Chain A
Amino acid sequence: MLRLLRLVRVMFCALVLGSASGAGAEVAVNIHYLKQIVPAPPTLSNLDPIPEDLGLRGAELGLEDNITTGRFLGQSYSLTVTEVAEDQDFAEVTRAALAETGLLVLDAPLAQVLAAADLPEAAEALLFNAGAADMALRSAQCRARVLHTLPSYAMKADALMQFFVTRRWDEIALIAGDRPEDQAWANTLETSARKFGLDFGARKTWAFDADMRRNASQEVPLFTQDLGDYDVLLVADAADDFARYISFNTWRPRPVAGSEGLRPVTWHRVVEAWGAAQLQSRFEELANRPMQDRDYAAWAAVRAIGEAVTRTGAADAETLRDYMLSDAFELAGFKGRPLTFRSWNGQLRQPIPLVHERALVAQAPLEGFLHQRTELDTLGLDQPESDCTAFEN
């Protein structure tokens, strides 16, 4: 498979209806969406396969939204899509993309995002990270030209902890998978629990390889028996491998949260308020499936570009980046508040829905968690917590 999978879909709209006023003039905006194909690790259940077009459909919906707005202003948008095969060099593909446009949306793991951002050609481009939740990208390994529309693990962990504090579920136990991503997510949860003053107790690693569909009822009670007492059990299972078998099988009857049970998400089909129902139905119509986290992150990236183009009338990466990082920028993201970018690390501030499969439970930031700037900054790396310096100057 030394083959570059390159799909190019160009949508173009030059139709101008009525007279255009506001930030008008003819502007053509090309956005390139690059997705690194990452094979999913084997999981115990195949009940919820990861859609192959995850992320991509969000970018396409964002493009449609931009085109509809642009046609009243003489502004046109196009989207180029490239899927990078597993053994392909992501940086080289990015280099080729940068020769055509300075506006990229990346759906890729941390290493690929860094490789792309460190290309000399990217020095004046604007890259959106819509696929990597790693805290390092928002801290010591941040890059000045990379903005993040996907929330970090820290934002999600903080959202959960605010809920526990509110409900006075003070004592926490945790089980995590043995993959590096599981441990990273578990570490983030533990750090967050301590930050919010919760009592973090036992932590165990799930290292079984049994087929839990058959004997979860026998294994999980035993496995959780020595966790001691706790109010809520956190499960850190980034690949969605074993988490689904934990609920109702714990030794003590306790709620489960994290990768199962009560989950902090970027987006989920149960999110309905604040006009979200409209976004959901437009997405369903386009993709024939519910919108997920990375769809939302890609949508938000393309829409952020659209919003900045609408307001500035410009299409160059420099002007758009300056505008997005200014106080004037705000994105209507169907989460009940305007979304803005953090000036110190380029993270898109956003509420985090806490959901179970059937309903929205709460949306963080929860009432009572205050911040001098905005309550949204009670989630994730606040300015003093981030080691990012690339945005200073």
Chain B
Amino acid sequence: MKLPILTTLTAALMCSAAWADEIWVTNEKDDTISVIDIETLEVVRTIDTGERPRGITFSKDFSVVYICASDSDAVQVMDPDTGEILHDLPSGEDPEQFVLHPDNRHLYIANEDDAITTVVDTETRTVVAQIDVGIEPEGMAVSPDGKIAITTSETTSMAHWIDTETQELFANTLVDSRPRHAEFVKDGTELWVSSEIGGTITVFDVATQTEKAKIDFEVANIHPDRVQPVGFEFTTGYTHAFVALGPSNHVAVVNAETYEVEEYILVGRRVWHMDFNRDRTQLFTTNGVSGDVTVIDVASRKPIKSIKVGRFPWGAAFRPTD
């Protein structure tokens, strides 16, 4: 059984013509990206970035990858084949997290130190708007129809609702302490917001911006204070959410219809963010403190492997390579 290893070597050598899909992981304290080959579950490439890379997302056609280089005060645009930085986008100070609008053109960026959301046109490379939000903006989401953008602010404990036509706020809704991540789900009818210190996920009805449900977590033998929901992602058809629970070192599996937690999966230490493979049968979580990525088999809900990456892995993004 030497063939797969040879294949990996070949793929690594050929580099630009990679054969397997990949997970890209930003390493906050190494200023690098670790590229994981999904077939071999090994790191096949390490790419240098600007300082303190956190948020990472690919363009809709996967031709470029955007990276929040927080301490470089820039969003970097990289050619994923060569790892070369093509150019920087004006991002405002300390960009932490961002989301790409469905138009594949506008980036909505959270400027953590400035209490601002910056909207950047990636084609003209100009700032289109800056919107005052609460303190320490972080979680970013855009509705599937592109009409609403969300910024959550950690210290203000709010979800700010932005009208993408006018680039102005039209609602501000309180959630529990330190909201970290937001996602539109079920065709944009629901908005989910995780609260790290509050220990909950708030589910909003998007039409009315009112709270529809609140999800609590309870991990056996771990004090509720340490159960801190951060990043989350949904399985195909939005039936279940996988929720990173920070320093409890677990990922929760939440039934997205009943809002009940069905299972807790042990992963690495201080789990942050995650992404799936192509058919969503495998989930890759970044574990900040242990410096690794846990691979979870979605069907059995079991961790199947830990992959050592750089120091303080933060963001994760899937890249198809065909």
**Contact assessment for B178 and A275 in the assembled complex, using a CB-CB cutoff below 8 Å:** yes
Cβ 8 A contact of B171, one of A18, A69, A310: A18
Contact yes or no, B209 A21, CB < 8 A: yes
Q: Is the CB of A338 within 8 A of B177?
A: yes
B135 touches A332 (CB 8 A): no
B residues in contact with A338, CB < 8 Å: 177, 197-199, 225
Residue A337 interfacial (CB < 8 Å): yes
Does the CB pair B169–A18 fall under 8 Å? yes
Chain B 148-178: CB-based contact to A (< 8 A → 1; otherwise 0): 0000001111101100000011111110011
Contact with A along B199-232 (1 / 0, CB 8 A): 1000000000100000000000001011000000
Kindly list chain B residues whose C-beta atoms are within 8 Å of the C-beta of A382.
none
State which of A23, A282, A336 has its C-beta within 8 Å of the C-beta of B174: A23
The smallest C-beta distance from B92 to any residue of chain A, in angstroms, reads: 15
Encode contact with B along A4-27: 1 for CB under 8 Å, 0 otherwise. Answer: 000000000000011111110000
A282 and B113 within 8 A (CB) = yes
B225 touches A65 (CB 8 A): no
B112 on interface, CB distance cutoff 8 Å: yes
The answer, yes or no, to whether B115 is at the interface (CB within 8 Å) is yes
Tell me if A375 is interfacial: C-beta within 8 Å of chain B. Answer: yes
* A67 shortest CB reach to chain B, Å: 10
Q: Which residues of A contact B161 (CB under 8 A)?
A: 18
Q: Cβ of B31 < 8 Å from any Cβ of A? A: no
Q: What residue of chain B has the Cβ atom nearest to residue A70's Cβ?
A: B156
B132 within 8 A of A: yes
* A18 and B157 contact, Cβ closer than 8 Å, known pairs A68-B135, A275-B136: no
Q: Tell me the total A-B contact number using a CB cutoff of 8 A.
A: 86
Q: Are A22 and B173 in contact (CB under 8 A)?
A: yes
Say whether B247 faces chain A, with CB atoms less than 8 Å apart: yes
Q: B157 — which chain A residues lie within 8 A by C-beta?
A: 69, 310, 332
Query: Hey, what's the 0/1 contact readout for A47-84 against B, CB within 8 Å counting as 1?
Result: 00000000000000000010011001100000000000
Q: Assess whether B155 is in contact with A332, with CB atoms less than 8 Å apart.
A: yes
Q: Output the least CB separation between B165 and chain A (Å).
A: 14
Cα-based distance from A171 to B134 in the complex (angstroms): 50
Interface size class of B (residues with CB under 8 A): 20 to 34
Give complex CA distance A282, B115 in Å: 11
Interface size on A, residues (CB 8 A): 28
B177 near A73 with CB under 8 A, answer no
Q: Is the CB of A332 within 8 A of B178?
A: yes
* Set of chain B residues within 8 Å of A73, measured between Cβ atoms: 172, 174
A225 interfacial by beta-carbon distance below 8 Å:
no
Asked if A281 is an interface residue, CB under 8 A from chain B, the answer is yes
A65–B172 touching, CB < 8 Å: no
Contact residues in B for A331 (Cβ distance below 8 Å): 177
* Nearest-Cβ distance from residue B114 to partner chain A, whole angstroms: 10
* Residue contact B134 to A69, C-beta cutoff 8 Å: yes
CB-CB under 8 A for A21 and B171, given A72-B158, A338-B177: yes
Known pairs A332-B178, A374-B225; A18 contacts B160 (CB<8 A): yes
CB proximity to B under 8 Å, residues A100-148:
none
B177 touches A332 (CB 8 A): yes
Whether B158 pairs with A69 at a CB distance below 8 angstroms is yes
Q: CB-CB < 8 A to A65: which residues of B?
A: 135, 155-156
Which 10 pairs between the two chains have the least Cβ-Cβ distance? A18-B169, A22-B174, A72-B172, A332-B177, A337-B225, A69-B156, A332-B197, A332-B178, A338-B197, A68-B135
Residues on A lying within 8 angstroms of B by beta carbon are 17-23, 65, 68-69, 72-73, 275, 278, 281-282, 307, 310-311, 330-332, 336-338, 374-376
Known: A21-B174, A68-B135, A336-B247. 18 other contacts (CB 8 A): A18-B161, A19-B170, A20-B172, A21-B171, A21-B172, A21-B209, A65-B155, A275-B136, A282-B113, A310-B174, A332-B154, A332-B155, A332-B157, A332-B178, A338-B197, A338-B198, A338-B199, A376-B225
8 contacts between A and B (CB under 8 A): A17-B132, A21-B171, A68-B134, A68-B135, A69-B135, A275-B136, A278-B113, A281-B113
